[in-house]
Amino acid sequence: ILRKARKGTRVVYVPGNHDENFRDFANHRFGRVAVLNEAYHTMADGRRFLVIHGDQFDGVVKYAKWLAFLGDNAYNAALMLNLWLNIVRRKLGFSYWSLSAYLKHKVKNAVEFVSSYEAAVVGEARKMGVQGVICGHIHTAEMRDMDGILYCNDGDWVESCTALVEHEDGRLEILKWAELRGLSFLRDEEECDSSSSAMPGIPKSMVSSEPSTP
C-alpha cells in the first residue's frame, strides 16, 4: 500500500480499535496517505458512501475496555491455534478453514451482536444522508441492502482473507481469496501474507500501477 502511495495513489487510512493509537494523527497527511476517523467516498456511478471502521458502534469496545482487552487476547489465541491447525490441514491436503470464524458463527450471542451492529451502522449511514456504508470491525464480510442503505463489510485480511473492491462502473464486490484460488491452499508466493506482490497477499496481475484520482 505504501508503495502504491509513493507511485501516486491516494490512500485513506481509517484506524480501528486494534490500532487506535493512530487516531491521534487523525486529519493529518503523511505524503499521499491521509489518516481519518471517517471518510466519504463517491463511487464511479455517483453513489456516496460513509467509510468507517465501526468500533464506535460496539458497546464492549466503547464502554468496557477491560472486556474488549480479554476478547482481543482470546481472539489472538484463536488465530494462533488457527495457524497451526491449517498447517496440519495443508500437509494433509485440505483447504484453508477458519476456526475463529466458525466459532463466531456458532455462538448465538455473536450472531445477535452482528445483527445489532449492522443495524446501528446502517442507522448512522441513513443519518448522514448517504446511499451506503463501508465498515469492518466484526471480521464478517457481508454486502446487502438494508432498507435502502447498502451495507458493506469488507471482513478482514487475517482470518478469512476477504476484501471489498469497486469496479470501474461503480459496482462493488467482496473478494474471497480462498474461493479465488479454487478453495485450495494458496501457492507460497500468493498467500495472504505474501511479500512477493506489489501489495501483500495480492498477485501482481491483480495490482494496478495506475494512480487513482485524488
Q: Residue 54 CA to chain centroid, in angstroms? A: 11
Give the domain ranges of the chain: 39-187
DSSP state, residue 187: P
* Residue 98 cell numbers, joined: 477458519
pLDDT at 140 over 60: yes
State if pTM tops 0.85: no
Band (158; pLDDT cuts 50, 70, 90): confident
Residues in a beta bridge with 48: 42
Contact 95, 89 (CB under 8 A): yes
pLDDT at 203 over 80: no
Q: Give mean pLDDT, residues 92-119.
A: 68
Strand order in 33-35's β-sheet? 11-13, 33-35, 28-30
Band (113; pLDDT cuts 50, 70, 90): low
